[in-house]
Amino acid sequence: MKIVADDRHSAHWGKELANGVFGPSWEQPIRADYVDAELSDRGFGPPIAPATVPDELLGNVHSERYVRFIDRAWERWCEAGREESGAALAYCWPTAPGSDTLSGRYAAPDALDIDNDPIDLLLGLFSFAADCSITAHTAGAARAAASAAFTAANILSATPDHPVFARCRPPGHHAMRESFGGYCYFSNAAIAAQRLRDLGAERVAVLDVDYHHGNGTQQIFYDRADVTFASIHADPRTDFPFYLGYADEIGQGPGLGANMNLPLPSGTVFSTWSAALDRALSTVAGADAIVISLGVDTFENDPISTFRLTSDNFLAMGAQLATAGLPTMFVMEGGYATEAIGVNMVNVLDGFMNG
């Protein structure tokens, strides 16, 4: 298995508002360090440095104005005299009955000026949760993660018999077309899927195994038939991102039937989770390639989840994913039991290769 990784993530560590407290994010640089160390210890690698993701691809999966906002947000925050805060965070969001149900907010008006409109207006329009802020190094880290996914897709397209792992940080599956949240800024898995389509794959599947629903990936592809999305996750009535991830969300327009959500209750153990994975795998069967949004926050000791998977279960998960028999790439998402993330993440890869 080839590994794609970029160390530019290390300078990015955002802040979040959680449980009424504003402090350092659970999504911290050491997560990737533990994964990198475990990959090395088990003989995966050495990692490949990614090529730079093209702005055209970023602007296709997201939008040109959103990409420009991510690039300029910290500079705009500093122009407003707030650099000492260390993190740019929205405090007001435009939401009302009848707003866009896919994003949970009104669509940003067409006549936005990223360079001159008030930064608080822009932050509210381009974010959806207070768990996610922008720092001096966020844009660079987000672009590095997107570049890792882009490069992994290039490798998989050229050598479909050889799986690839994009060690992305920050994660991406919560980032919608024009909004960030859930520690995510650019949708790395969606960027990989779109790149595979651009390189000739007729149908790509994205399978999200993170504890939290991949609301961003779903929103980006919800009305498309060429990318099938399946997600196994916590019940959105009880867990972030709350407003998407229900079983009756099956796509719309040309994408009707190309979206599958499998929400599971608190306390889910691997036997139940594995049965859901069988259902998801049947949905993605026949795709030309599959992108796995690999979060390991389903772990029994994860501080912000309630599932009960063990480290050994991640080996079995990897072996089960291999039964799809498809050209496969993995994109790193969540997992916040920091000292266990390396073992759990690499167990999935090990199980996939050797199970």
Cα–Cα distance list, 151 to 34, 192, 193, 327, 348 (Å): 22, 8, 12, 15, 21
Q: Cα separation of 73 and 96, whole Å?
A: 25
DSSP β-bridge partners for residue 4: 48, 166
Cα–Cα distance list, 347 to 44, 287, 317, 351 (Å): 12, 25, 9, 6
Q: Collapsing DSSP states into helix, strand and coil, what is residue 73?
A: helix
Q: How many CA atoms lie within 13 A of 193 on its CB side?
A: 29
CB-CB contact of 117 with 23 (8 Å) = no
Q: Cα separation of 203 and 196, whole Å?
A: 9
Cα maximum dimension of the chain: 55
For β-strands 328-332 and 227-234, DSSP reports them as unpaired
Q: Cα separation of 98 and 249, whole Å?
A: 17
Catalytic (active site) residue 174: yes
CB-CB contact of 77 with 134 (8 Å) = yes
Q: Cα separation of 163 and 141, whole Å?
A: 24
Output the six-digit token pair for 257. 């039937």
Q: Cα separation of 297 and 341, whole Å?
A: 8
CB-CB contact of 128 with 181 (8 Å) = yes
Q: Collapsing DSSP states into helix, strand and coil, what is residue 232?
A: strand
Active-site option among 9, 62, 173, 174: 174
Query: Tell me, what amino acid is at 169?
Result: R
Catalytic residues: 174
